Chains A and B, each alone.
Chain A
Amino acid sequence: MTNLLPHMSGRKFAVIALIGTAVLLALPYFLPPYYLGLVIKMMIFALFAMSLDLLLGYTGMASLGHAAYFGMAAYVTGLLALKLGWSVWLTLPAGILMAALTALLLGLLALRTRGSYFLMITLALSQVVWGIAFGWRSLTGGDDGLPEVPRPNLPLPWSMADSTPFYYFVLFFVVVGTLLLVRIVSSPFGCALRGIRESETRMLALGYNVWRYKLAVFVLAAAFAGLAGCLYVFNNRFVSPDYIHVARSAEVLLMVILGGAGTLIGPALGAAAIVLLENIISTYTERWLMILGFVYVLVALFTPNGLTGLIESLRKRRSGP
């Protein structure tokens, strides 16, 4: 579990996780619906950012096209729910599967490169997906997207159209997703990924099939991004090409960097911070982009390891050298 936050004992982590879960479970009882909606958005983007961190932080592959899988899953889920009226138990796996398949296909191309070339080719491939969503008007609605996607209809006494039951719906999937991610990064597979990040050639020498590992993590990361995309469609009840746009890929990359790559809790914090800043500051000033820019610059200058790095260094200072 040390990968969640570096230098944290298992017991301490368990306590923090328990408190966190308790707070999240209790939130609907003291937050008004609008703010609950913001928390839902934060959780979805937290999952999305954590999925990218699997690539960026753990395997050392900077992808600038991660929104392609988020958006692909969103479109598949939205289309199946809207046009065929499928239930959530079919649309959700279908969305995730489609994201993973797309990643498998695009990964075969993208993984032939590394470093900044990998960044460029993931960007280009995600633009292809965006172009399809934008251009195929009869299926995707083009620029206007697909409005009026229904919320999931579960055999429960509560309607998912209300924010509290929907909050718990999202919370369930985000928690399950997070636990799976924790399991992945602390498994031998996760160790191999970190090995690849540190030295690909050494892993090759040790007999690991690096390329296969990279493809596997690329597909896995896309699947989790797909889960986030599915949840986002249900939250907004529409999907548009904007979900796949390169600006969204860049945004989620910034979330990971702001929070601290290479930890799972960092990207989640980064996602929460950016969603909050975007929605709260912009109410007060039109210059909110400038403020956000300053935050990025300050983080890059003073806490190169992101928010988690900041927390760590504060903790170290307090406990003495």
Chain B
Amino acid sequence: MRSLIAVTVALAAFGTLAKPAFSQEPIKIGVMFPYTGPISAQGRPERDAIKQAFDEENNTIAGRKIELLYEDSTGRPDTGLTKIKALVERDKVHLLLSELVSSIGAAVAPYVNEQKMPWISTVALASLTRAQKSPYIFRFVPSSYQYATTAAEVAKKMGWKKVYFIGWNAPPSRESYEAVKKVFGEENVVDAMFPNVGTSDYAPYLTKMDTSKADGVFTAMWGADAPRIVQQYVEYGLNKKMPLFGIASFTSEELLGDMPAASVGVLSAYTYCGTLDTAENKKFVEGYQSRYKAVPGSYQYMGYMAAKMVIQAIKDINGKVEDREAFIAALGKVKVKGPMGETSFDEQHGMVADFYVLTVEKGSNGQLQNRCGERIPQVKDPYASFP
């Protein structure tokens, strides 16, 4: 009897030794976005695209299963922080692939840094790679300074000399204005206007614009406000004399459905262009369309590619995500060729990616789409101009 027990114990011990400890447990990834509230229209599609990226790997990387744990940040910073704590302390995730709201990003960053928890965010908050930078935080989305500087430089190359600026009375628009001022010089900004988020009538602002005084208008507002200002801009006939240049994802694919037909010709410069003809983009767009019956835009692209970066980093360390230092070192070096070209992180963990000049046009099916113009290769966050 005693020997039988000994044999059993020995076998059991052998069993646990034979299997490498790390390959049994799944890799747990915390995916927190706003799934309810006003920003859920961006949060849910981005999560869907992240799911798509992991499904393309059959949810198994380097022999380990992937488990995505979802939490709803509701778009509020204190709730977001509580939910991140739930993922880290209760669910013991190995890494976070989360969030797009800048106020939540600012609230979560100190906690994530303290916990030494790898966090790949799509929060366009410039401070994440500046004042709040951390070896554990990666920002896979251009910062406000990065996208606005690029937009301003494109417009300057097109021959713009004097400009108007209209944007939300909110941090990303204010920072965009700083970038426009830097590129054009303050004396060349005829007027800068900052209506509140959700303003329904832009007449007081648009009537102030004098087409003889400027070459074009920069606008930095997004979501439902973007189609609204385009509609009114066209109604006032301003588009015939002064082109409108949207900053960042102003003409993102998911918004084009709400844009008026007359918005053909609206410009922007950003990291995603839906009609770009590459094999990777075709796979992304068709995969997303067949799953979710919608055209993916820039938010989906960020989620999809952020997931691809994580997948490549996990492969590079052979699935050993328990070694966080090795994981963040690998992620810092990852280069992935995606739908829009190669993407990577700079030394402060900001996104490095190709930008494209986009022009809204009417597609062959009568729907609005983005025409992909000049490619601006490997744009980095301008740390030197905006420390």
State A145–B317 Cα separation when bound (angstroms).
37
Taking a contact as CB atoms under 8 Å apart, the answer to whether B106 and A147 are in contact is yes
Taking a contact as CB atoms under 8 Å apart, the answer to whether A286 and B77 are in contact is no
A202 CB-CB contact with B under 8 Å: no
Known contacts being A283-B86, A288-B72, is A236 close to B171, with CB within 8 Å? no
Partner of A236, one of B35, B74, B107, B114: B107
CB distance from A111 to the nearest CB of B (A): 29
**Residue-wise interface mask of B (105-134) relative to A, using a CB-CB cutoff of 8 A (1 in contact, 0 not):** 011011100100000000001010000100
Partner of A237, one of B36, B72, B110, B132: B110
Residue of B nearest to A238 (CB): B107
Residues of chain A contacted by B174 (CB below 8 angstroms): 137, 142
B41 CB-CB contact with A under 8 Å: no
**Residue-wise interface mask of B (58-89) relative to A, using a CB-CB cutoff of 8 A (1 in contact, 0 not):** 00000000000001101011110111011001
Which residues of A in the span 215-265 have a Cβ within 8 Å of any Cβ on B?
232, 236-238, 240, 242-243, 247
State A308–B14 Cα separation when bound (angstroms).
58
A135 CB-CB contact with B under 8 Å: yes
B79, B86, B107, B109 — most chain A CB neighbours (10 Å): B107
Known contacts being A34-B85, A34-B89, A147-B132, is A242 close to B103, with CB within 8 Å? yes
State A33–B114 Cα separation when bound (angstroms).
15
Partner of B170, one of A34, A143, A279: A143
B77, B86, B127, B171 — most chain A CB neighbours (10 Å): B77
Partner of B86, one of A34, A236, A242, A243: A34
Known contacts being A236-B81, A242-B78, A282-B71, is A147 close to B107, with CB within 8 Å? yes
Taking a contact as CB atoms under 8 Å apart, the answer to whether B171 and A286 are in contact is no
CB distance from B109 to the nearest CB of A (A): 6
Taking a contact as CB atoms under 8 Å apart, the answer to whether B77 and A242 are in contact is yes
Taking a contact as CB atoms under 8 Å apart, the answer to whether B106 and A238 are in contact is yes
Taking a contact as CB atoms under 8 Å apart, the answer to whether A283 and B82 are in contact is no
Residue of B nearest to A243 (CB): B78
B169 CB-CB contact with A under 8 Å: yes
**Residue-wise interface mask of A (125-156) relative to B, using a CB-CB cutoff of 8 A (1 in contact, 0 not):** 00000000011010001111101100000000
Residue of A nearest to B113 (CB): A148
Residues of chain A contacted by B86 (CB below 8 angstroms): 34, 279, 283
Give the total of B residues in contact with A, Cβ under 8 Å. Answer: 31
Residues of chain B contacted by A161 (CB below 8 angstroms): 114
Taking a contact as CB atoms under 8 Å apart, the answer to whether B89 and A32 are in contact is yes
B102 CB-CB contact with A under 8 Å: yes
A278 CB-CB contact with B under 8 Å: yes
Taking a contact as CB atoms under 8 Å apart, the answer to whether B109 and A37 are in contact is no
Known contacts being A240-B77, A242-B77, is A147 close to B72, with CB within 8 Å? no
B19 CB-CB contact with A under 8 Å: no
Taking a contact as CB atoms under 8 Å apart, the answer to whether A145 and B103 are in contact is yes
A194 CB-CB contact with B under 8 Å: no
Taking a contact as CB atoms under 8 Å apart, the answer to whether A240 and B103 are in contact is yes
Residues of chain B contacted by A204 (CB below 8 angstroms): none
B2 CB-CB contact with A under 8 Å: no
A289 CB-CB contact with B under 8 Å: yes
Taking a contact as CB atoms under 8 Å apart, the answer to whether A144 and B169 are in contact is no
Chain B interface SS verdict (over half): helix
State A143–B173 Cα separation when bound (angstroms).
11
CB distance from A166 to the nearest CB of B (A): 13
**A interface bracket (residues with beta carbon within 8 Å of B):** 20 to 34
Taking a contact as CB atoms under 8 Å apart, the answer to whether A37 and B85 are in contact is yes
State A232–B77 Cα separation when bound (angstroms).
12
CB distance from B212 to the nearest CB of A (A): 32
A147, A242, A279 — most chain B CB neighbours (10 Å): A147
Known contacts being A147-B109, A147-B132, A286-B36, is A236 close to B78, with CB within 8 Å? yes
Residues of chain A contacted by B77 (CB below 8 angstroms): 145, 236, 238, 240, 242
Residues of chain A contacted by B132 (CB below 8 angstroms): 147-148
Known contacts being A286-B35, A288-B36, A289-B36, is A33 close to B107, with CB within 8 Å? no
CB distance from A14 to the nearest CB of B (A): 34
Residues of chain A contacted by B78 (CB below 8 angstroms): 232, 236, 240, 242-243
A66 CB-CB contact with B under 8 Å: no
Residues of chain B contacted by A288 (CB below 8 angstroms): 36, 72
Residues of chain B contacted by A34 (CB below 8 angstroms): 85-86, 89-90
Taking a contact as CB atoms under 8 Å apart, the answer to whether A144 and B79 are in contact is no
**Residue-wise interface mask of B (32-49) relative to A, using a CB-CB cutoff of 8 A (1 in contact, 0 not):** 000110000000000000
Partner of A144, one of B81, B83, B106, B110: B106
Taking a contact as CB atoms under 8 Å apart, the answer to whether B82 and A142 are in contact is no
State A135–B195 Cα separation when bound (angstroms).
12
Taking a contact as CB atoms under 8 Å apart, the answer to whether A148 and B110 are in contact is yes
Residues of chain A contacted by B85 (CB below 8 angstroms): 34, 37
Residues of chain B contacted by A33 (CB below 8 angstroms): 89
State A143–B86 Cα separation when bound (angstroms).
24
Which residues of A in the span 143-196 have a Cβ within 8 Å of any Cβ on B?
143-145, 147-148, 161
Taking a contact as CB atoms under 8 Å apart, the answer to whether B169 and A286 are in contact is no
Residue of A nearest to B86 (CB): A34
Residues of chain A contacted by B89 (CB below 8 angstroms): 32-34, 37
Residue of A nearest to B72 (CB): A282
Which residues of A in the span 1-56 have a Cβ within 8 Å of any Cβ on B?
32-35, 37-38, 41
State A32–B111 Cα separation when bound (angstroms).
18
Residue of B nearest to A241 (CB): B103
State A142–B82 Cα separation when bound (angstroms).
21
Taking a contact as CB atoms under 8 Å apart, the answer to whether A135 and B169 are in contact is yes
**Residue-wise interface mask of A (263-287) relative to B, using a CB-CB cutoff of 8 A (1 in contact, 0 not):** 0000000000000001100110010
CB distance from A235 to the nearest CB of B (A): 9
Taking a contact as CB atoms under 8 Å apart, the answer to whether B107 and A145 are in contact is yes
Taking a contact as CB atoms under 8 Å apart, the answer to whether A38 and B102 are in contact is no
Taking a contact as CB atoms under 8 Å apart, the answer to whether B102 and A143 are in contact is yes
State A135–B107 Cα separation when bound (angstroms).
18
Residues of chain B having any CB pair with chain A under 8 Å:
35-36, 71-72, 74, 76-79, 81-83, 85-86, 89-90, 102-103, 106-107, 109-111, 114, 125, 127, 132, 169-171, 174
12 contacts between A and B (CB under 8 A): A33-B89, A35-B90, A144-B102, A145-B103, A237-B111, A238-B77, A240-B107, A242-B78, A243-B78, A279-B83, A279-B86, A286-B36
Q: A144-B103, A148-B132, A288-B36 are in contact. List 7 more A-B contacts (CB 8 A).
A: A32-B89, A37-B85, A137-B171, A143-B103, A237-B110, A242-B77, A286-B36
By Cβ-Cβ distance, the 6 closest A-B pairs, closest first, are A34-B89, A34-B90, A238-B107, A144-B106, A147-B106, A286-B35
